[in-house]
Chains A and B, each alone.
Chain A
Amino acid sequence: EAQVTQNPRYLITVTGKKLTVTCSQNMNHEYMSWYRQDPGLGLRQIYYSMNVEVTDKGDVPEGYKVSRKEKRNFPLILESPSPNQTSLYFCASSLYHKGQGVTEAFFGQGTRLTVV
Protein backbone atom coordinates (compact mmCIF):
# COMPACT_ATOMS: atom_id res chain seq x y z
CA GLU A 1 0.00 0.00 0.00
CA ALA A 2 1.32 3.44 -0.99
CA GLN A 3 1.81 5.48 2.14
CA VAL A 4 3.68 8.08 4.13
CA THR A 5 4.46 6.95 7.66
CA GLN A 6 5.27 9.31 10.50
CA ASN A 7 6.37 8.40 13.99
CA PRO A 8 5.48 9.02 16.69
CA ARG A 9 1.82 10.00 16.38
CA TYR A 10 1.80 11.74 19.73
CA LEU A 11 4.69 13.15 21.73
CA ILE A 12 4.95 15.17 24.92
CA THR A 13 8.41 16.48 25.72
CA VAL A 14 10.14 19.10 27.82
CA THR A 15 11.76 22.31 26.69
CA GLY A 16 15.28 21.81 25.39
CA LYS A 17 15.22 18.04 24.98
CA LYS A 18 16.24 17.16 21.43
CA LEU A 19 13.76 15.10 19.46
CA THR A 20 13.34 13.60 16.01
CA VAL A 21 10.12 12.89 14.16
CA THR A 22 10.61 10.30 11.46
CA CYS A 23 8.95 10.25 8.05
CA SER A 24 9.17 7.50 5.47
CA GLN A 25 7.46 7.05 2.08
CA ASN A 26 7.31 3.95 -0.13
CA MET A 27 6.30 5.63 -3.40
CA ASN A 28 9.79 6.58 -4.64
CA HIS A 29 8.82 10.25 -4.57
CA GLU A 30 11.49 12.86 -5.10
CA TYR A 31 9.84 15.73 -3.24
CA MET A 32 9.21 15.61 0.51
CA SER A 33 8.20 18.32 2.92
CA TRP A 34 7.29 19.06 6.51
CA TYR A 35 4.38 21.26 7.61
CA ARG A 36 3.05 22.44 10.89
CA GLN A 37 -0.63 23.15 11.37
CA ASP A 38 -1.89 25.60 13.95
CA PRO A 39 -5.44 26.91 14.52
CA GLY A 40 -6.11 29.99 12.43
CA LEU A 41 -2.77 29.73 10.63
CA GLY A 42 -3.33 26.71 8.43
CA LEU A 43 -0.55 24.49 7.10
CA ARG A 44 2.83 26.18 6.94
CA GLN A 45 5.81 24.63 5.19
CA ILE A 46 8.84 24.18 7.43
CA TYR A 47 11.38 22.56 5.12
CA TYR A 48 11.24 20.71 1.86
CA SER A 49 13.53 18.48 -0.16
CA MET A 50 13.67 18.20 -3.93
CA ASN A 51 15.73 14.98 -3.78
CA VAL A 52 18.49 13.22 -1.83
CA GLU A 53 20.87 15.75 -0.26
CA VAL A 54 18.81 18.68 -1.62
CA THR A 55 16.87 20.57 1.03
CA ASP A 56 15.65 24.14 1.39
CA LYS A 57 13.83 26.29 3.90
CA GLY A 58 10.09 26.70 3.74
CA ASP A 59 8.18 29.58 5.27
CA VAL A 60 8.79 28.77 8.97
CA PRO A 61 12.17 27.00 9.30
CA GLU A 62 13.43 28.56 12.55
CA GLY A 63 14.12 25.99 15.25
CA TYR A 64 14.02 22.99 12.92
CA LYS A 65 16.51 20.90 10.98
CA VAL A 66 16.04 18.21 8.35
CA SER A 67 18.17 15.77 6.45
CA ARG A 68 17.63 13.69 3.30
CA LYS A 69 20.26 10.98 3.17
CA GLU A 70 17.97 8.44 1.51
CA LYS A 71 15.12 9.02 -0.90
CA ARG A 72 12.50 7.39 1.30
CA ASN A 73 13.28 9.12 4.62
CA PHE A 74 12.99 12.75 5.66
CA PRO A 75 13.32 13.19 9.45
CA LEU A 76 12.46 16.43 11.23
CA ILE A 77 14.80 17.38 14.06
CA LEU A 78 14.09 19.80 16.87
CA GLU A 79 17.46 20.43 18.53
CA SER A 80 16.07 22.44 21.44
CA PRO A 81 12.27 22.38 21.42
CA SER A 82 10.35 25.29 22.88
CA PRO A 83 6.66 25.62 23.83
CA ASN A 84 5.93 27.66 20.67
CA GLN A 85 6.73 24.53 18.68
CA THR A 86 3.72 22.78 20.16
CA SER A 87 1.73 21.94 17.04
CA LEU A 88 0.39 19.28 14.69
CA TYR A 89 3.09 18.24 12.22
CA PHE A 90 2.56 16.63 8.83
CA CYS A 91 5.08 15.06 6.51
CA ALA A 92 4.17 14.85 2.82
CA SER A 93 5.68 13.43 -0.35
CA SER A 94 5.09 14.17 -4.03
CA LEU A 95 6.36 13.15 -7.42
CA TYR A 96 8.51 15.69 -9.20
CA HIS A 97 8.14 15.81 -12.97
CA LYS A 98 10.71 17.92 -14.82
CA GLY A 99 8.02 19.25 -17.14
CA GLN A 100 5.13 19.60 -14.68
CA GLY A 101 6.91 20.23 -11.43
CA VAL A 102 5.76 19.02 -8.03
CA THR A 103 2.52 17.03 -8.18
CA GLU A 104 -0.10 16.40 -5.51
CA ALA A 105 1.05 15.67 -1.99
CA PHE A 106 0.44 12.48 -0.04
CA PHE A 107 0.38 13.22 3.68
CA GLY A 108 1.33 11.18 6.68
CA GLN A 109 -1.15 10.83 9.54
CA GLY A 110 0.38 13.62 11.57
CA THR A 111 2.36 13.98 14.79
CA ARG A 112 0.85 15.93 17.63
CA LEU A 113 3.73 17.45 19.58
CA THR A 114 3.40 19.15 22.94
CA VAL A 115 6.41 20.93 24.45
CA VAL A 116 6.06 21.81 28.13
Chain B
Amino acid sequence: GQNIDQPTEMTATEGAIVQINCTYQTSGFNGLFWYQQHAGEAPTFLSYNVLDGLEEKGRFSSFLSRSKGYSYLLLKELQMKDSASYLCAVRRPNSGGYQKVTFGTGTKLQVIP
Protein backbone atom coordinates (compact mmCIF):
# COMPACT_ATOMS: atom_id res chain seq x y z
CA GLY B 1 0.00 0.00 0.00
CA GLN B 2 0.89 3.64 -0.15
CA ASN B 3 1.99 5.33 3.05
CA ILE B 4 2.25 9.08 3.51
CA ASP B 5 2.72 10.35 7.06
CA GLN B 6 2.25 13.84 8.47
CA PRO B 7 1.76 15.04 12.04
CA THR B 8 -1.91 15.39 12.82
CA GLU B 9 -1.77 18.77 14.53
CA MET B 10 0.72 21.55 15.24
CA THR B 11 0.54 24.84 17.07
CA ALA B 12 2.81 27.82 16.44
CA THR B 13 2.98 31.48 17.40
CA GLU B 14 2.24 34.40 15.14
CA GLY B 15 5.45 35.73 13.59
CA ALA B 16 7.37 32.50 14.16
CA ILE B 17 8.59 29.83 11.74
CA VAL B 18 7.04 26.37 11.55
CA GLN B 19 8.17 23.24 9.70
CA ILE B 20 5.61 20.61 8.69
CA ASN B 21 7.11 17.24 7.81
CA CYS B 22 5.91 14.61 5.38
CA THR B 23 7.42 11.17 4.92
CA TYR B 24 6.32 8.80 2.19
CA GLN B 25 6.69 5.20 1.12
CA THR B 26 4.96 4.74 -2.22
CA SER B 27 5.22 2.42 -5.19
CA GLY B 28 6.88 4.91 -7.47
CA PHE B 29 7.44 8.63 -7.16
CA ASN B 30 7.68 11.46 -9.62
CA GLY B 31 6.69 14.55 -7.72
CA LEU B 32 5.40 15.95 -4.42
CA PHE B 33 2.83 18.70 -3.88
CA TRP B 34 1.82 20.77 -0.88
CA TYR B 35 -1.68 22.21 -0.56
CA GLN B 36 -3.35 24.47 1.98
CA GLN B 37 -6.94 23.85 3.03
CA HIS B 38 -8.90 26.22 5.22
CA ALA B 39 -11.79 24.71 7.16
CA GLY B 40 -14.81 24.19 4.94
CA GLU B 41 -12.98 25.15 1.76
CA ALA B 42 -11.26 23.43 -1.13
CA PRO B 43 -7.50 22.78 -1.10
CA THR B 44 -5.31 25.31 -2.88
CA PHE B 45 -1.86 24.68 -4.34
CA LEU B 46 1.20 25.92 -2.45
CA SER B 47 4.30 24.27 -3.89
CA TYR B 48 5.73 21.44 -5.94
CA ASN B 49 9.02 19.51 -5.78
CA VAL B 50 10.28 16.95 -8.26
CA LEU B 51 14.04 17.20 -7.67
CA ASP B 52 15.92 17.20 -4.37
CA GLY B 53 16.38 20.54 -2.69
CA LEU B 54 14.54 23.62 -1.59
CA GLU B 55 11.87 25.52 -3.52
CA GLU B 56 11.06 28.99 -2.18
CA LYS B 57 7.90 30.97 -2.81
CA GLY B 58 7.61 34.04 -0.63
CA ARG B 59 6.90 33.04 2.98
CA PHE B 60 6.55 29.38 1.98
CA SER B 61 9.36 26.97 1.12
CA SER B 62 9.31 23.26 0.46
CA PHE B 63 12.15 20.77 0.63
CA LEU B 64 12.47 17.31 -0.87
CA SER B 65 14.86 14.40 -0.31
CA ARG B 66 13.91 11.54 -2.61
CA SER B 67 16.47 9.15 -1.15
CA LYS B 68 14.97 9.60 2.31
CA GLY B 69 11.33 9.75 1.19
CA TYR B 70 11.01 13.02 3.05
CA SER B 71 9.66 16.50 2.46
CA TYR B 72 8.88 19.49 4.61
CA LEU B 73 6.94 22.71 4.22
CA LEU B 74 8.43 25.74 5.93
CA LEU B 75 6.21 28.68 6.77
CA LYS B 76 7.94 31.88 7.85
CA GLU B 77 6.55 35.01 9.55
CA LEU B 78 3.42 33.16 10.52
CA GLN B 79 0.14 35.04 10.27
CA MET B 80 -3.21 34.19 11.84
CA LYS B 81 -4.61 33.47 8.37
CA ASP B 82 -2.09 30.61 8.05
CA SER B 83 -4.25 28.57 10.44
CA ALA B 84 -5.35 25.77 8.13
CA SER B 85 -4.64 22.16 7.22
CA TYR B 86 -1.57 21.45 5.10
CA LEU B 87 -1.73 18.46 2.79
CA CYS B 88 1.22 16.61 1.32
CA ALA B 89 0.52 14.68 -1.92
CA VAL B 90 2.71 12.30 -3.90
CA ARG B 91 2.39 11.88 -7.65
CA ARG B 92 3.33 8.42 -8.84
CA PRO B 93 3.15 6.43 -12.06
CA ASN B 94 1.10 3.27 -12.25
CA SER B 95 1.59 0.17 -14.35
CA GLY B 96 -0.49 1.55 -17.21
CA GLY B 97 1.75 4.59 -17.64
CA TYR B 98 -0.84 6.84 -16.04
CA GLN B 99 -0.29 9.05 -13.01
CA LYS B 100 -2.01 8.77 -9.66
CA VAL B 101 -1.93 11.26 -6.81
CA THR B 102 -2.03 10.09 -3.18
CA PHE B 103 -2.57 12.50 -0.30
CA GLY B 104 -1.42 12.31 3.27
CA THR B 105 -4.02 12.85 5.99
CA GLY B 106 -2.96 16.46 6.48
CA THR B 107 -1.55 18.55 9.31
CA LYS B 108 -3.86 20.97 11.07
CA LEU B 109 -1.88 24.07 12.00
CA GLN B 110 -3.14 26.48 14.60
CA VAL B 111 -1.46 29.88 14.79
CA ILE B 112 -1.84 31.59 18.15
CA PRO B 113 -1.21 35.25 19.02
Contact = CB atoms under 8 A, between A and B. Distances in A.
A87 to B, nearest CB: 14
Contacts of A41: 105
A45 B45 contact: no
- Classify chain B's interface size: 20 to 34
Contact of B106 (A42, A104, A106): A42
B103 A104 contact: no
A109 B42 CA distance: 5
Interface of A: prevailing SS: strand
Contact of B42 (A48, A56, A108): A108
Given A42-B87, A90-B42, 16 more contacts: A31-B99, A40-B105, A44-B103, A45-B100, A45-B101, A48-B99, A48-B101, A56-B100, A59-B102, A101-B31, A101-B91, A101-B99, A102-B101, A104-B45, A105-B33, A106-B45
Interface of B: 2, 30-31, 33, 35, 41-45, 48, 50, 87, 89, 91, 94, 96, 98-106
